[in-house]
Each structure stands twice: as structure tokens, then as C-alpha cells.
Amino acid sequence: MTIETVGIVGAGQMGNGIAHVFALAGYNVLLNDIAQDSLDKAMATIEKNLDRQVSRAKITAEDKAATLARITTTLTLTDLGQTDLVIEAATEREDVKNQIFKTLVPHLKPTTILASNTSSISITRLASKTDRPERFMGVHFMNPVPVMKLVELIRGIATDDETYQTMLAIVAKLGKTAASAEDFPAFIVNRILIPMINEAVYTLYEGVGNVQSIDMAMKLGANHPMGPLELADFIGLDTCLAIMHVLHDGLADTKYRPCPLLVKYVEAGWLGRKTGRGFYDYRGETPVPTR
């Protein structure tokens, strides 16, 4: 399959990063969102991140200009129908993703590959709601997309080998490394990472340590670049909780029970960096632990 044009649904943190790496690798990108403000912010973010790459001599000013020229934005989801590959990078809610695919499917070319950037939802189940389960895959990028080298590739039960091989080649062209995962709840990275974060929240909840000591312990004791609570704030506590629910529901094991304190933070709207408060308060000059 020849992939030249790529449609991306969702211009948020993940969507704009995916648009960035595809356009930089030479693909023509059509970026969609439901709000013009989101598209404007996405283009500003892409330009800022390209500037950072230019300043570090990773790319040239010409590369930056060419990359930006390859990205077009649209508020109309069905405009993506004529692209060769569509990657859905909307919010981590299955009903939202299903509605996107339902709207999009009647407008797709027969050869278009559909992919989801979901971090935990069943690829087989998402694919079954479309007209092309054999041309459907999970393509899970890590955040921040321009920096992180890994992409998880997840085949649904019906995904054919041609689709898988095509996506494998695309990941290589993006300059990234693919890790192939089976279609089980949360795949590889989040199956390991999010329960670790949940356990860190339990450690806080049970008073074993405060925010600062827990993060310091893992940074200096396990050589992690970020502490687990700092990382949770970066990911978004709502996303962490959603993935824990997927693990708990999908595997029916009590070890995946979300920590009540994580639930409480999400109920408060303290979702991390994106809302200004999570396990740290980001509203001042420097982040301050909230517990």
C-alpha cells in the first residue's frame, strides 16, 4: 500500500505531535478538530517545536518551512475521507472514538487504512464497528511525539498482514522504533507504567511518603527521569484513571483497582499540568506539591 496523505483526527497534545512527525517525514497531513481554536493552538505548537529542532541543529530552517507547508487544517471530519491513512487521536473514550469512525467510514476510500492512537482500548472492538477491520490497527505514539522514539503497533484479531507491514514501514520512515503488542488491555507500555503510577498514588494515600519523597525516591533510587507522580501530572490524571479502569474491567484482577485518591483528584478537576493542579500545583513560578 502506498501512503502519501495522512488524516489526523484531534489536534490536542498527541494529534499535533503526530502531525508534526508525519509532515517532517514528507507526508501531506490533513489535521482535523472540532474547534478552530484547537487547530490554531496546534499549528502554533508545531511551529514552536520545529523552532526548537532548528535551534538544536536537528533540522534546517528549510525543513521547518517544508514541514509547515505540508500541514492543512480542517473543521470538517469527512474531509479526511480521501487520505490514504487516518489516525484517530481523540480523547480516550470509546464512545467518542466509535462516533468518529461511524461518521468517517462512509466517506473513506476502499484502500484507506484506519488507525487509533488509543493507549488502552481494545483494537479488535474498535475495528469491529467499522467496515474494514482487516485494515484497522492500533498505532500508539508516546508523548511528547516529536521526542519519543517508540511507537506501539497493535494488531486486532482481524488485522491483515499487509496493513501491519505497511504501518511497520511507516514507523521506520518516521525515524521511530516499533514495538509490536498483542491486543490485550493497555498493551505493553501502559500495562506496566500506569499500575506503577497507581501504586505510587497508593503509597501517597497510605502515608508511606509525601509527593516529594516518592518522586525523589524513584528518580534517585531507580534512575527514572521523572518521578511517578510528576509523570502522572504530565500524562493527565484523567487519562491515568481511564487506563486503570480499562485494566480493571478488562482483566478483572483486584491489583488493577484504581487508588481512591486518584479518583478524588480527578473528581476535583485536578488533572495535572493541563489544569494547573494535580499532585503538584503549577500556578506559581515553580511546581509545589499538593500533599
The response to whether 109 counts as a known ligand-binding position is no
Among 171, 168, 8, smallest CA distance to 88 is for 8
Among 16, 38, 116, 190, which one carries the catalytic annotation? Answer: 190
Contact 91, 120 (CB under 8 A): no
CA gap 37, 108 in Å, rounded: 26
- Catalytic site includes residue 122: no
Among 200, 113, 111, 181, smallest CA distance to 142 is for 181
CA gap 203, 152 in Å, rounded: 29
The response to whether 10 counts as a known ligand-binding position is yes
The response to whether 119 counts as a known ligand-binding position is yes
The response to whether 15 counts as a known ligand-binding position is yes
The response to whether 198 counts as a known ligand-binding position is no
The response to whether 13 counts as a known ligand-binding position is yes
The response to whether 274 counts as a known ligand-binding position is yes
CA gap 214, 236 in Å, rounded: 18
For the CA atoms of the chain, what is the radius of gyration? 19
- Catalytic site includes residue 210: no
- Catalytic site includes residue 224: no
The response to whether 19 counts as a known ligand-binding position is no
- Catalytic site includes residue 134: no
Angle, CA of 20, 191 and 184, to the nearest 5°:
95
The response to whether 14 counts as a known ligand-binding position is yes
The response to whether 92 counts as a known ligand-binding position is yes
Among 38, 49, 119, 198, which one carries the catalytic annotation? Answer: 119
The response to whether 223 counts as a known ligand-binding position is no
Q: DSSP character for 277?
A: B
The response to whether 218 counts as a known ligand-binding position is no
- Cell numbers linked to 107: 466517506
Q: How would DSSP label each residue in 11-59? A: -SHHHHHHHHHHHHTT-EEEEE-S-HHHHHHHHHHHHHHHHHHHHTTSS
SS3 per-residue string spanning 149-198: CEEEEEECCCCCHHHHHHHHHHHHHCCCEEEEECCCCCCCHHHHHHHHHH
Among 16, 140, 198, 230, which one carries the catalytic annotation? Answer: 140
Tell me the catalytic residues.
119, 140, 152, 190
From the annotation, which residues make up the binding site?
A: 10-15, 33, 92, 97, 119, 143, 274
From the annotation, which residues make up the binding site for NAD(+)?
A: 10-15, 33, 92, 97, 119, 143, 274
